[in-house]
Amino acid sequence: VNQFTPGELPGSFKNLTSLKTVWLAQCNLTGDFPSYVTEMMEMEYLDLSQNSFTGSIPPGIWNIPKLQYLFLYTNQLTGDVVVNGKIGAASLIYLDISENQLTGTIPESFGSLMNLTNLALMTNNFSGEIPASLAQLPSLVIMKLFENNLTGQIPAELGKHSPFLRDIEVDNNDLTGPIPEGVCDNRRLWIISAAGNRLNGSIPASLATCPA
């Protein structure tokens, strides 16, 4: 933890367009999210977590072509998560934008991130349904969506197409319907946590035979 005086990133930072790694977690940074990071086309690892950034996530961040790790959790970010067209940051492995005040729906296009292993969107104000496309993510290991305002059902195909899926957390939303029958088809599931919803139906018999 750094004890920097609260302040914004220096304006000259935007000239460092060749940076590959930016790790500025817990640096007491304030002000609007620095939109110029979307011009850093060599960026692979961006961690601005645990600061006091405000404003919205600029749509251009989803088009940084080499970006693999994006950590923006525990800030004061607001607004919808807007993705214009196809996600250019197709190499994303780890995406954590939790513990903000983000609104709107979870982008359907997150389901196109074939390398994504960790999706952390918890403790925001996301609404609408969980996109069915998230059930198609072949590399997904951990999906944390708890403490939002999500409605509708858990995607019926969840578990069938993600052979490494280990952890599903959707607590404290307003989800209805059943737990998907194939949620343990991958045989690697450790955790499924869905308390504080309005789920119904029967608990899938397959859960009883999950190895974990």
The stretch 52-75 carries a mean pLDDT of: 97
Distance between CA atoms of residues 36 and 135, nearest Å: 33
The helix or strand, by DSSP H or E, that contains position 143, with its residue range, turns out to be strand 142-144
**pLDDT mean over 71-85:** 97
Helix (H, G, I), strand (E, B) or coil at 1: coil
pLDDT at 170: 98
114-118, 156-160, 194-198, 202-206: least confidently modelled range: 202-206
Which pLDDT does position 97 carry in this prediction? 98
Question: How many CB atoms neighbour CB 134 within 10 A?
Answer: 22
Q: State the pLDDT at residue 4.
A: 64
pTM: 0.94
Mean pLDDT over 175-198 rounds to 93
| pLDDT classification of 171: cutoffs 50, 70, 90 | very high
Average pLDDT of the chain, as a whole number? 93
**Chain segment 116-152, per-residue pLDDT in tens:** 999 999 999 999 999 999 999 999 999 999 999 999 9
pLDDT at 2: 57
Which residues on adjacent β-strands are paired with residue 22? 46
Average pLDDT (172-195) is: 93
CB atoms under 10 Å from CB of 50, counted, come to: 18
Looking at 66-70, 79-83, 206-210, which range is the least confident one? Answer: 206-210
pLDDT at 1 over 60: no
